[in-house]
Amino acid sequence: MSAYTPESEHVRTLKQRGYGTTPDEVLSDKNLTWFEKALYGRLRGFATGNNHCYPSVPHIARIMGATDRGVRKALANLKRHKWIKREYCYLPEIGRSVYLITFLFHENFIIKSPHAMSSGW
């Protein structure tokens, strides 16, 4: 059996169906609402192998059953808490300008050694 990699056929099939993953660090972030956490996972389903995606706000709102305003507000909060970067740019591969969403490496993803942690262990 081959190794499970982001490029595997299984992962591509799940992404085509809209599945994404939400890391535990995002799920446990008390600064985010449940909608924002679900949105993060859904955006990950759109992401390409280079950790980017560019769905439109109306498209996200339609598939999430939300308003455009609610999606914009959720994206702003994900950006504020440094889970994503969102910037308007031209993508030559598709020939138009889009809001490109990039998933950021977050400090919560760092596994601290037991020596650096508090005495709770």
Q: Output the pLDDT for position 2.
A: 40
Instruction: Transcribe the chain into DSSP letters.
Output: -----TTSHHHHHHHHTT-----HHHHT-TTS-HHHHHHHHHHHHH--TTSEE---HHHHHHHHT--HHHHHHHHHHHHHTTSEEEEEEEETTTTEEEEEEEEPPPGGGPPPPTTTS-TT-
When pLDDT is cut at 50, 70 and 90, the band that residue 47 belongs to is confident
pTM of the model: 0.74
Domains in the chain: how many in total? 1
119 domain-assigned: no
Rounded to an integer, the average pLDDT of 77-83 is 95
71 domain-assigned: yes
Question: At 81, which CATH number?
Answer: 1.10.10.10
Domain that holds residue 98: 9-105
